A = this chain, B = another copy of it.
Amino acid sequence: MSHAAPARPVRADQVTRWDWDTDVAIVGFGASGACAAIEAAEAGAKVMLLEAGAGSGGASAWSGGEIYFGGGTEVQKSAGFNDTAEALESYLMMAGGPDADAEKVRLYARNSVAHFEWIKAQGVPYKGNYLPGKIIEPADDGTLIWSGSEEAWPFYETSSPAPRGHVIQFMGWGGGRKLVDILEARVRAMGVDIRVNAYVENLIADAEGAVVGLVVRIDNEQKYLRSKKGVVLCTGGFCMNSEMLKRYTPEVLRCNSPIGERDDGSGIMMGMAVGADAIHMDEFFVTCPWIIPESFAKGVFVNSRGNRFINEDCYHGRVSRAILDQPGDKAYLLLDSEIFAQPLDLARISVAGTGDTWEEVEQELGMPEGTLSSTMRTYNRYAVEGEDPVFRKRLPWLKPLNVAPYAAVELNVRSSFFSFFTLGGLRTKSTGEVLDRAGERIPGLFAAGRAACGLPRWGAGYSSGMSLADCTFFGRLAGRAAAGAASN
């Protein structure tokens, strides 16, 4: 990393000059920072937004611009889905894992429809149509997609399924850049003072531990910025800081494609340096885009022992997270001739074995006799009856793999395209107020997006659009709370 993480804040009584003054200082110009800035400015605060890069973007700009909205948006309704806040809440609770944040989940579930309206009011366009099937991002400019594990076991048992991925109107992949551009225009229209190539090196804290400003490096000079009402850290996670990954998330070091812009964890580190708690630092989202083409979801995943390990019809990030737990850093996707297609080059996955019988494939992969072949015998026996009693995979993805020849595609954790970002971060209230390890708020400090631990905090539960939902919604709340000074 280019900057050493500060272990302690700068003390206010050692600051000899204040170069700048503002009410609210926002660090990081991705979606979280943009939404925080809009709300803080709307609340009447003077806002300064500092971005380490040359312009807005962050990891948000590398996304598909898809946001996880539910509870009955107009798009969901016109597509005939009767989603409710309760269903959204129960899904998000499951997706949040063993320490889901019930308060944040409830708040988001109840306000998701209104938040969708707010996002549209910022100028973000949606075509408004529904795209059925299993897709990562629309190939066209369509809107509503199934972006998680809603229809898959065990989620559908607890939460009534609905598609909730709402994708910005944008032709093809990568609408995240457009999303941030639109938010940036709003930020500019609100008169926010934006500084780019401005790297925040540290927080400034007073004798009582309250955050009162920032040290900013810009044009190779240190500037001291006083923030009268608050600092909002929107600096993202730490997927691009290998030192932090080693210490907190060593499992993901094997993967090669961090999704980030300059996600060096500096906000998390600066927050911890003033006493903030950081939680679930070991959790991460990971995915290999194996469901391209869609028919691959009809395949069967086995590990190198020939055992299945997950229902293949759940979200690709959930499948990928399970792959990381398999022995030997790899898994095989088994396909028959009916569903075979050449994998995208992008995925860096390739055919590792073929055969006219599953016994031949087993042998070609070097697996002991009676492993993969037994697995497939059992799978096929039930699949012809439309059942998967072992993993509860469902129709239409459940089909017997019995049309020879057969193939096994290898997904390798170390060499295939496994992209990832981190989910652990500063412990915050729904308002974005950062909490210390005693559960007390740190005056003057707020955080949102992946610098905080938010709705997505469990790799096995992640669904596409969940991080942007969290970034935009809780970014807004943090901006509003920071502008309201000491707040609740």
- On A, residues with C-beta under 8 Å from B are 4-8, 97-99, 209, 246-248, 250-251, 253, 269, 272-273, 275, 277, 279-282, 305-308, 325, 368-371, 374-375, 377-378, 381-382, 389-391, 427, 436-438, 440
Contacts and interface: CB of A to CB of B under 8 A. Distances in A.
Nearest to A276: B7
Contact of A5 (B251, B369, B437): B437
Contact of A275 (B8, B247, B250): B8
B391 A7 contact: no
Nearest to A245: B99
Given A5-B438, A247-B427, A281-B282, 15 more contacts: A4-B438, A7-B440, A8-B436, A98-B251, A247-B277, A248-B280, A269-B437, A273-B437, A280-B282, A305-B308, A305-B391, A369-B381, A374-B374, A374-B375, A374-B377
A282 B282 contact: yes
A329 to B, nearest CB: 12
Contacts of A390: 305-306, 368, 371
Given A248-B279, A378-B374, A7 B99 contact: no
Contacts of A378: 368-371, 374
Contact of A279 (B8, B247, B374): B247
A interface secondary structure, majority: loop
Nearest to A253: B98
A303 to B, nearest CB: 9
A252 to B, nearest CB: 10
Contact of A7 (B5, B6, B371, B438): B438
A7 B246 contact: no
23 contacts: A5-B438, A7-B277, A7-B438, A8-B436, A98-B250, A99-B246, A247-B277, A247-B279, A247-B427, A250-B280, A305-B307, A305-B390, A305-B391, A368-B378, A368-B382, A368-B389, A368-B390, A369-B378, A369-B381, A370-B377, A370-B381, A371-B378, A374-B374
4 cross-chain pairs, A with B, having the tightest CB-CB distances, nearest first: A7-B436, A98-B250, A370-B378, A368-B389
Nearest to A269: B437
A327 B484 CA distance: 46
Contacts of A8: 209, 275, 436
A7 B306 CA distance: 49
